[in-house]
């Protein structure tokens, strides 16, 4: 089937307002050359000049899409306020003098018997750079402590300066942290005891293997190939292998209906709405960690949407097109296959944000086809959207828009680079140490292979998403417009199951928890261990998972996130069984499985379809 390009919307030109008398109770329309403010809190965005856009797009090639103006303004904000705070500077100076004295004293006694290896400062949190026992021996322990002291001092120096905006403070602290991470002693062979020990044991062979790993990665990067080892994870053969059929297709998505694995199924189908930032099959990885397979084994009929990877021809695809041609088109198709049944809708990440918009629109319009709503690591309020907000301000968004305007889309490398920076120690520098210095290339797994299977984002859609949701927070503040009228999340009365992940850098769980204050529905909130992806992909047979869960009825008093953390009971294991028990309690009695598709579906491919391979 040929793919039909979505044409840009056209609007009727505004007619000049009549210059007549003021009629009582009627405000005359502005003249045709006067701007109309659609919402009072958002100032109009100036129309860019073509030459300026071209210049910014060229500049973005050298800055990897980061706005130099945003960085400069943040540093000026911090440095000016610090210069105007002599007592704060004195405090910072006293801190470094105190730490230096303690460090010199500890370094002088580093070889003394009984000296504690971490006498001045120790690694905290998830910092795994210095966790091996080799780092407890001098002089490497001294180097590690000197680095950690410097890292803490710079954190204190770049934060807590009165008058600096929170956003600029976060940018300065983040950029300093990135520079310091580059200089960590774990990144250099002569200051890393693990590397030196490996070199001594292998006769330097690790450097040979490391060089080979580096050359291989360089060649793959230049030829735009996927990382080494990804060839063992092939879509449709080793991942995304749950049997099923594409039962509907339009120019933006394919709808997959999965084959039942039980003799009887629940009458209400499940619709999975994935994010279009990545491929849908994160919820259908290998058979042993596939949420799709787990659901069909529990007696549910499962549908999943697979988004088409856009290209330059899709530059004018709008955010609302994903709602209409995605969620709503999928519900229409499901109604034809399972008529008269409500749908359990699940949205993951950005797909959850889209689902919440679709649900609020349906509630406004009296559409009651949703039986329950499940959101996985999905935000509806973007005031505390984690470290991703470092890349989202007016200067940065304008810069990204100019870069996308020239290409027609946001490139996969740009998106992957932004996510990698959020966890640079784990995703960048640990790999430098392991792959290139130790010569030990880590084996790929299905989740890593999926992460490398990135997608592009259309220019118009991504611009609207960044401005309406991130910058203006229209959805949370009641200004989001769908088909000419505003929507409100408070119109949602459908029972909701909301999952946050404890170590999420993309959708922090406290931000996800804010949905409690926005909807008028029973909300079961579950906080699971792990991060944005590993916390969601949590099969019951995999050890190490735990969660907390608590339900707030629609008419019950609200509980803040910190209080919730104290009150919600703990449980060991995966959250999947907890969720399916909740779904089963809101479903009817089991019966005969529905037919696969409607009408003639022989012309459409089997799962996982064609769009996932683009």
User: Does residue 460 form part of some domain?
Assistant: no
The total of other beta-carbon atoms located within 10 Å of residue 69's CB is: 15
Please give the DSSP secondary-structure letter assigned to residue 546: E
Question: Would the pLDDT of 354 be above 90?
Answer: yes
Contacts 24+ apart (CB under 8 A), 159-163: 160/88, 161/78, 161/81, 161/82, 161/85, 161/88, 162/81, 162/85, 162/88, 163/81, 163/84, 163/85
Report residue 427's pLDDT band, with 50, 70 and 90 as the boundaries.
low
User: Does residue 456 form part of some domain?
Assistant: no
Angle between helix 193-202 and helix 205-222 axes, rounded to 10 deg: 110
The CA-atom distances, in angstroms, between 475 and each of 326, 380, 382, 486 are: 19, 7, 9, 9
Rg (CA), the chain: 27
| Whether 190 and 250 share a structural domain | no
Question: Would the pLDDT of 299 be above 60?
Answer: yes
Inter-residue contact 81 to 161 (CB < 8 Å):
yes
From 202, 230, 257, the end of a domain falls on 202
Question: Would the pLDDT of 229 be above 60?
Answer: yes
Angle at 404 between CA 46 and CA 317, to 5 degrees: 90
Helix, coil or strand: residue 345: strand
Question: Would the pLDDT of 27 be above 50?
Answer: no
Burial call 411-438: b when 16+ CB within 10 Å, e when fewer: ebebbbebbebbbebeebbbebbbbbbb
Bridge partner list, 501: 528
Helix, coil or strand: residue 572: strand
Bridge partner list, 374: 346, 497
Question: Would the pLDDT of 12 be above 50?
Answer: no
| Whether 197 and 303 share a structural domain | no
User: Does residue 572 form part of some domain?
Assistant: yes
Question: How deeply is 97 buried, as exposed, middle or buried, from its count of CB atoms within 10 A (0-12, 13-18, 19+)?
Answer: exposed
pLDDT for position 452: 84
Question: Would the pLDDT of 582 be above 60?
Answer: yes
Question: How deeply is 553 buried, as exposed, middle or buried, from its count of CB atoms within 10 A (0-12, 13-18, 19+)?
Answer: exposed
What whole-number distance in Å separates Cα of residue 470 and Cα of residue 464?
Answer: 9
pLDDT for position 217: 84
Residues for the chain: how many in total?
614
Compute the Cα dihedral for 103, 105, 111, 113 and give only its sign: negative
Bridge partner list, 94: none
Please give the DSSP secondary-structure letter assigned to residue 533: T
Nearest alpha carbon to residue 606 among 247, 293, 289: 247
Q: What tokens were used for 518?
A: 């926005």
Angle at 98 between CA 93 and CA 102, to 5 degrees: 150
What whole-number distance in Å separates Cα of residue 279 and Cα of residue 295?
Answer: 19
What whole-number distance in Å separates Cα of residue 513 and Cα of residue 502?
Answer: 11
| Whether 499 and 365 share a structural domain | yes
| Whether 605 and 502 share a structural domain | yes
**Rounded to two decimals, what is the model's pTM?**
0.85
From 174, 202, 230, the end of a domain falls on 202
Average pLDDT over residues 362-385: 96
Q: How many domains does the chain have?
A: 2
User: Does residue 178 form part of some domain?
Assistant: yes
Question: Would the pLDDT of 227 be above 80?
Answer: no
Is 349 an active-site residue?
A: yes
| Whether 171 and 285 share a structural domain | no
| Whether 183 and 309 share a structural domain | no
| Whether 191 and 256 share a structural domain | no
Q: What tokens were used for 256?
A: 């997959």
Question: Would the pLDDT of 17 be above 50?
Answer: no
Report residue 19's pLDDT band, with 50, 70 and 90 as the boundaries.
very low
From 172, 202, 232, the end of a domain falls on 202
Inter-residue contact 116 to 142 (CB < 8 Å):
no
Average pLDDT over residues 92-106: 92
| Whether 95 and 179 share a structural domain | yes
Q: Of the given ranges (237-241, 269-273, 387-391, 539-543), which has the lowest mean pLDDT?
A: 387-391
Query: Could you report the per-residue pLDDT of 30-46, keeping only the tens digit for each?
Result: 333 333 334 444 556 67
| Whether 307 and 168 share a structural domain | no
- Residue 65, sorted as left (phi over 0), alpha (psi -120 to 50) or beta, turns out to be left
Q: Which domain holds residue 532?
A: 245-383+473-613
CATH code where residue 339 lies:
3.40.50.1820
Angle between helix 68-83 and helix 394-407 axes, rounded to 10 deg: 170
User: Does residue 305 form part of some domain?
Assistant: yes
Question: Would the pLDDT of 410 be above 50?
Answer: yes
| Whether 489 and 365 share a structural domain | yes
pLDDT for position 238: 94
Could you report how far apart the first and last alpha carbons of the chain are, in Å? 14
* Bond before 139 cis per omega within 30 degrees: yes
Bridge partner list, 58: none
Mean of pLDDT over the chain: 87
Q: What tokens were used for 399?
A: 């810069």
The total of other beta-carbon atoms located within 10 Å of residue 284's CB is: 32
Average pLDDT over residues 468-484: 95
Residue 566, CA atoms < 13 Å, CB-side half-sphere:
4
Q: Name the active-site residue from 149, 330, 333, 349.
A: 349
Report residue 6's pLDDT band, with 50, 70 and 90 as the boundaries.
very low
Nearest alpha carbon to residue 231 among 446, 440, 420: 446
Helix, coil or strand: residue 527: strand
- 502 vs 9, higher pLDDT: 502
Question: Would the pLDDT of 226 be above 60?
Answer: yes
pLDDT for position 230: 76
- Name the one residue in this structure whose structure tokens are 């930032």: 277
Question: Would the pLDDT of 7 be above 60?
Answer: no
| Whether 261 and 368 share a structural domain | yes
Inter-residue contact 393 to 521 (CB < 8 Å):
no
pLDDT for position 431: 81
- Name the one residue in this structure whose structure tokens are 């928890």: 513
Parallel/antiparallel/unpaired status of strands 270-273 and 253-258: unpaired
Element (DSSP H or E) covering residue 612: none
User: Does residue 585 form part of some domain?
Assistant: yes
Q: pLDDT above 70 covers what percent of the chain?
A: 89
Query: Could you report the per-residue pLDDT of 516-564, keeping only the tens digit for each?
Result: 999 999 999 999 999 999 999 999 999 999 999 999 999 999 999 999 9
Nearest alpha carbon to residue 412 among 611, 319, 276, 236: 276
User: Does residue 32 form part of some domain?
Assistant: no
| Whether 262 and 197 share a structural domain | no
Angle at 283 between CA 351 and CA 440, to 5 degrees: 115
Report residue 576's pLDDT band, with 50, 70 and 90 as the boundaries.
very high
- Name the one residue in this structure whose structure tokens are 């910190």: 562
pLDDT for position 423: 66
pLDDT for position 216: 87
User: Does residue 290 form part of some domain?
Assistant: yes
Q: What tokens were used for 571?
A: 């449980």
Residue 372, CA atoms < 13 Å, CB-side half-sphere:
24
Print the SS3 string covering 258-282. Answer: ECCCCCCECCCCEEEECCCCECHHH
């Amino acid at each position: 089937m040929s793919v039909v390009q979505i044409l840009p919307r056209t609007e009727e030109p505004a007619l000049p307002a009549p210059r007549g008398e003021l009629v009582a109770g009627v405000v005359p329309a502005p003249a045709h050359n006067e701007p109309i403010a659609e919402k009072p809190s958002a100032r109009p965005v100036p129309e860019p000049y073509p030459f300026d856009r071209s210049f910014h797009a060229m500049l973005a090639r050298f800055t990897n899409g980061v706005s130099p103006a945003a960085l400069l303004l943040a540093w000026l904000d911090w440095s000016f306020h610090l210069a105007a705070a002599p007592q704060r500077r004195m405090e910072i100076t006293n801190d470094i003098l105190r730490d230096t004295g303690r460090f010199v004293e500890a370094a002088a006694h580093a070889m003394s018997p009984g000296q504690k290896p971490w006498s001045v400062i120790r690694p905290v949190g998830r910092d795994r750079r210095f966790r091996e026992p080799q780092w407890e021996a001098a002089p490497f322990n001294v180097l590690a402590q000197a680095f950690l002291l410097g890292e803490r001092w710079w954190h204190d120096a770049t934060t807590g300066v009165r008058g600096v905006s929170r956003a600029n403070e976060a940018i300065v602290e983040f950029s300093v942290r990135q520079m310091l991470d580059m200089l960590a002693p774990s990144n250099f062979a002569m200051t890393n005891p693990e590397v030196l020990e490996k070199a001594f044991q292998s006769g330097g062979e690790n450097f040979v293997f490391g060089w080979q790993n580096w050359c291989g990665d360089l060649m793959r990067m230049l030829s735009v190939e996927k990382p080494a080892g990804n060839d063992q994870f092939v879509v449709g053969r080793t991942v995304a292998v749950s049997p099923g059929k594409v039962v509907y297709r339009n120019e933006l998505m394919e709808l997959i209906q999965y084959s039942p694995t039980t003799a009887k199924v629940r009458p209400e189908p499940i619709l999975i709405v994935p994010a279009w930032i990545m491929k849908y099959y994160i919820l259908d990885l290998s058979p042993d960690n596939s949420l799709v397979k787990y659901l069909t084994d529990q007696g549910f009929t499962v549908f999943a949407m697979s988004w088409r990877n856009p290209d330059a021809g899709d530059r004018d695809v709008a955010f609302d097109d994903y709602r209409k041609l995605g969620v709503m088109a999928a519900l229409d198709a499901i109604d034809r296959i399972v008529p008269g049944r409500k749908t359990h809708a699940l949205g993951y990440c950005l797909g959850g944000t889209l689902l919440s918009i679709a649900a609020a629109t349906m509630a406004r319009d009296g559409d009651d086809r949703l039986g329950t709503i499940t959101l996985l690591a999905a935000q509806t309020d973007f005031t505390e959207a984690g470290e991703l907000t470092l890349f989202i301000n007016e200067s940065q968004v304008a810069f990204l828009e100019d870069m996308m305007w020239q290409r027609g889309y946001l490139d996969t490398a740009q998106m992957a680079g932004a996510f990698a920076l959020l966890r640079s120690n784990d995703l960048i520098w640990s790999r430098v140490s392991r792959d290139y210095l130790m010569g030990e290339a880590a084996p790929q797994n299905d989740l890593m292979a999926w992460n490398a299977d990135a997608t592009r984002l259309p220019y118009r859609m991504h611009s609207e998403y960044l401005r309406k949701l991130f910058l203006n927070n229209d959805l949370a503040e009641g200004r989001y417009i769908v088909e000419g009228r505003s929507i409100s999340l408070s119109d949602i009365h459908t029972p909701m199951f909301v999952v946050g992940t404890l170590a999420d850098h993309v959708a922090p769980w406290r931000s996800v928890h804010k949905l409690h204050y926005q909807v008028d529905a029973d909300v079961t909130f579950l906080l699971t261990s792990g991060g944005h992806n590993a916390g969601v992909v949590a099969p019951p047979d995999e050890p190490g998972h735990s969660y907390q869960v608590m339900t707030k009825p629609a008419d019950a008093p609200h509980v803040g996130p910190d209080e919730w953390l104290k009150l919600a009971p703990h449980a060991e294991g995966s959250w999947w069984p907890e969720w399916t028990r909740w779904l089963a309690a809101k479903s009817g009695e089991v019966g005969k499985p529905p037919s696969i598709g409607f009408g003639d579906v022989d012309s459409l491919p089997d799962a996982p379809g064609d769009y996932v391979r683009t």
